[in-house]
């Protein structure tokens, strides 16, 4: 029996199955049910990242350089300093260099991923930082990461889910897809080109992961990665047992 989803969760600003947290809910199905309704606590690095995304979005929408926002405060109150502008500008330069005649740029566009997975309920959707609808037959899906913690473009479920949602929205007219991580503070531009066929071969895996996590009694599978950002980790017995085992293993 699936668990009931309150209307405020189902119709909230953020998806129950966040693409950015896909590694967590794919690894630990129980994290969805146990975290539901809990508020996340924003950290300073996360707030700075949100501010950097704000600069990137508006710079691309209005054809500006990042320096235009120098000295402003982002909507979340973070001052836009020279360091933020420098890093964001590298992403702006890359996007502008990639846009050719006939290409269409979509910035901060919502992607209804649940439709591509054949789900009736809007439990998984997200906002894609950058999409380039290439006149050369290539769809580009890019995500900006402002942090220093390295993010790989390989086997990246967030990018793959965005791409699946975008392909469905575009009626699968693209045969090739470029997945891109823009991370100026760790690795710069990371690109993986794949095929629509290859991405579609992973669709069943993602659908299965969502279906599994929609059960109230889905299993908890604690691990260093799945528990790190889980909102329920402090109340999770399985997490405490996992941590205790780690401590025991470290003992001489």
The pLDDT assigned to 140 comes to 98
Q: What is the pTM of this model?
A: 0.92
Report, as an integer, the average pLDDT of 47-74: 97
Token pair, residue 251, equals: 């003992």
Continuous H helices in the chain: 7-10, 22-27, 30-35, 44-62, 82-98, 113-116, 157-169, 196-200, 203-213, 224-228, 237-250
How does pLDDT run across 179-232, given as a tens digit for each residue?
999 999 999 999 999 999 999 999 999 999 999 999 878 899 998 888 988 999
How does pLDDT run across 78-112, given as a tens digit for each residue?
999 999 999 999 999 999 999 977 899 999 999 99
Among residues 237, 206, 239, which one has the least CA distance to residue 113? 206
Token pair, residue 129, equals: 């930082």
């Amino acid at each position: 029996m699936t668990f009931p989803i309150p209307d405020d969760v189902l119709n909230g600003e953020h998806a129950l199955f966040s693409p950015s947290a896909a590694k967590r809910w794919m690894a630990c199905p129980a994290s969805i049910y146990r975290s539901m309704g809990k508020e996340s606590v924003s950290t300073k690095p996360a707030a700075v990242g949100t501010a950097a995304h704000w600069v990137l979005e508006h710079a691309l929408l209005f054809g500006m350089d990042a320096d235009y926002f120098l000295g402003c405060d982002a909507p979340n109150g973070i001052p836009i300093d020279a360091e933020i502008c420098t890093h964001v500008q590298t992403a702006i330069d890359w996007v502008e260099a990639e846009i050719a005649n006939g290409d269409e740029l979509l910035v901060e566009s919502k992607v209804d991923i649940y439709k591509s997975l054949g789900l009736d309920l809007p439990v998984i959707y997200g906002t894609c930082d950058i999409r380039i609808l290439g006149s050369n037959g290539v769809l580009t899906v890019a995500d900006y990461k402002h942090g220093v913690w390295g993010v790989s473009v390989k086997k990246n479920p967030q990018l793959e889910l965005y791409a699946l949602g975008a392909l469905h929205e575009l009626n699968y007219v693209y045969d090739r897809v470029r997945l891109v991580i823009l991370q100026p503070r760790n690795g710069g531009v990371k690109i993986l080109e794949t095929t629509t066929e290859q991405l579609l071969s992973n669709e069943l895996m993602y659908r299965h992961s969502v279906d599994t996590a929609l059960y109230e009694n889905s299993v908890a599978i604690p691990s260093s990665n799945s528990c790190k950002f889980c909102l329920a980790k402090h109340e999770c017995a399985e997490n405490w047992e996992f941590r205790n085992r780690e401590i025991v293993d470290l003992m001489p």
